[in-house]
Amino acid sequence: MLTYVIIPDTYNIKTHQKLLGLLNFFTTLAMAVAPIIGGYTTLLFGWRGNFYLLLFLGILCYVLGYFFLPTGVKNNDVSVNLIEYAKVLKNKKAMLYVFTICSFAIGYWTFIAISPLLYVNDLGVKLEHCGEWRFLLWR
């Protein structure tokens, strides 16, 4: 999420538009490929394998961010603490926006969460074939 803030803050308008387009492409690609990788990780390493994979990726992101993110000038006018979050949580308009976005997305989140169960139970697809490209393309 911070990438969407860091890119416009760091680069000029032409470069940051190009980078935001690439970021959207890779984000969409990751959403398409993640269930396949997660399925094969579960098959090979069990359900705990996904947690270890996410731990590894989180540590990798931290290390890459530490070494490659540009350092900036600290803005003393901005403070991030729980009191600042409380102001946002008390704001009715902000909570209405959050509720609206979550309401639109909850159906998609629910489908993504239970889709493996639907494929395995209702369609009779074996777990080994859930993540295959040929299944996803309905060949």
34-86 residue pLDDT tens? 877 887 888 888 878 889 999 999 999 899 988 887 776 665 665 667 787 88
Query: 67 and 1 in one domain?
Result: yes
Query: 61 and 96 in one domain?
Result: no
Is the pLDDT score of 1 beyond 80? Answer: no
pTM comes to 0.55
Query: 40 and 3 in one domain?
Result: yes
Query: 6 and 68 in one domain?
Result: yes
Query: 68 and 21 in one domain?
Result: yes
Query: 86 and 53 in one domain?
Result: no
Query: 89 and 42 in one domain?
Result: no
Query: 67 and 4 in one domain?
Result: yes
Q: Which of 23, 43, 72 is the last residue of a domain?
A: 72
Query: 87 and 55 in one domain?
Result: no
- Domains contained in the chain, number: 2
pLDDT value of residue 11: 78
Query: 89 and 62 in one domain?
Result: no
Query: 133 and 116 in one domain?
Result: yes
Q: Which domain holds residue 30?
A: 1-72
String of DSSP letters for the chain:
-THHHHHHHHS-HHHHHHHHHHHHHHHHHHHHHHHHHHHHHHHHH-HHHHHHHHHHHHHHHHHHHHHHSPP----TT---SHHHHHHHHH-HHHHHHHHHHHHHHHHHHHHHHHHHHIIIIIS---GGGTT-HHHHTT-
Quick one: average pLDDT of 100-116?
A: 79
Is the pLDDT score of 132 beyond 60? Answer: no
